[in-house]
């Protein structure tokens, strides 16, 4: 018991600080890496401004166009489900909000625990489905790299350890909770150096996309 408690305290203490520092500095470095490259000046007479179109695409690209939905319904639906499930569990679970309160002094309403529990189970199932899809769909199999499977594993572990800890399925509890926190820390550390950066850069990419199409008079 004392060993597991030490482990938990380590994940909540020094390891948490290390993870946050790597996450923050790594992400800033990645953003600098992108923006310092700059963009060539565009001399072509625009049809419309870049900003309104860019900002719109940052939001609209979240929803697939009808044709794409019909051609790739699995990607769209399962992608949506697990992203939403993950975000709900991350942002609307009481202990997570408590953590935010402790760290930043802000809080917001939570979802009832049984609801988060249900969403977490759905998320786990969806994640398994995405893995099966990745291993079986010819396109996904062809373009997948070791990184894709590594990132999948880390994300899955974060959700799974959270689920196991909530249901007291691993004993002792400090070990279960410590594993969950450590998984989340591994995710934070990997985030700036893997495709996980898309949680931020996707919005930059969408802006550039929307801006490029927008100046030509097309809302992308």
Partner 1 sequence: MSELTLERGLAAFRAEIDAPTAAFFSSCVHCGICAQSCPFYLETGDPKYTPILKLEPLRLIWENEFTLLGKLKGLLGLQRKVTDAMLAEWEELLYDSCSMCGRCSMVCPVGNDLAYMIRKSREGMVQSGHAPEGLISASVRAIKTGSPMGLQWKTLAVQIKHVEDSTGLKVPVDQVGADYLVMLSSMEVINFPEYLEAITKIFDHAGVTWTLSTQCFEATNAGIQIGNKDIAAQLVERVVAAAETLKAPNVISPECGHAFTAIRWEGPNLIGRAYPFRVFHIIEVLEELRVAGRIKTEGKEMDRLSLHDPCNLARKSGVIQQQRNLMDLVADNFVDLKEHGKYQWCCGAGGGVSSNERAEPLKMAAFKRKKAQIEEVAPERMVTMCATCRTQLEEGLEEFNMDIPVVGLTEMIADHLVEKETGS
- Judged by the rule CB under 8 A, the positions of this chain that interact with partner 1 are 29-30, 33-45, 47, 57-58, 61-62, 64-65, 67-68, 71-72, 75, 79, 134, 137-145, 148, 193, 195, 197-198, 201-210, 212-213, 216-220
162 vs 210 by CB, closer to partner 1? 210
Report, in Å, the least distance between residue 66 CB and partner 1. 8
Report, in Å, the least distance between residue 207 CB and partner 1. 7
Q: Burial of 210 by CB count in 10 Å (0-12 exposed, 13-18 middle, 19+ buried)?
A: buried
Report, in Å, the least distance between residue 111 CB and partner 1. 26
Q: What are the residues whose beta carbons fall under 8 Å from the beta carbon of 10, sequence distance 6 or more?
A: 178
12 vs 61 by CB, closer to partner 1? 61
DSSP 197: G
Q: Return the residue matching tokens 């625990």.
A: 113
Report, in Å, the least distance between residue 114 CB and partner 1. 31
Smallest Cα–Cα separation from 94: which of 107, 81, 103?
Answer: 107
Smallest Cα–Cα separation from 202: which of 66, 41, 34, 40?
Answer: 34
114 vs 138 by CB, closer to partner 1? 138
């Amino acid at each position: 018991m004392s060993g597991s408690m030490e482990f938990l305290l380590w994940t909540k203490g020094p390891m948490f600080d290390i993870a946050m520092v790597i996450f923050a500095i790594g992400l800033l470095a990645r953003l600098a890496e992108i923006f310092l490259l700059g963009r060539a000046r565009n001399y072509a007479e625009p049809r419309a401004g870049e900003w309104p179109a860019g900002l719109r695409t940052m939001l609209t690209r979240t929803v697939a166009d009808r044709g794409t939905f019909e051609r790739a319904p699995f990607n769209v639906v399962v992608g949506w489900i697990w992203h939403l499930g993950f975000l709900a569990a991350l942002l609307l679970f009481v202990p997570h909000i408590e953590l935010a309160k402790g760290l930043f002094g802000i809080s917001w309403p939570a979802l009832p625990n049984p609801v988060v529990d249900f969403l977490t189970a759905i998320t786990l199932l969806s994640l398994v489905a995405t893995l099966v899809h990745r291993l079986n769909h010819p396109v996904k199999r062809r373009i997948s790299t070791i990184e894709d499977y590594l990132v999948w594993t880390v994300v899955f572990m974060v959700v799974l350890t959270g689920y196991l800890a909530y249901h007291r399925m691993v004993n002792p509890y400090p070990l279960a909770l410590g594993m969950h926190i450590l998984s989340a820390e591994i995710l934070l550390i990997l985030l700036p150096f893997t495709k996980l950066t898309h949680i931020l850069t996707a919005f930059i990419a969408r802006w550039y996309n929307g801006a490029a199409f927008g100046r030509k008079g097309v809302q992308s």
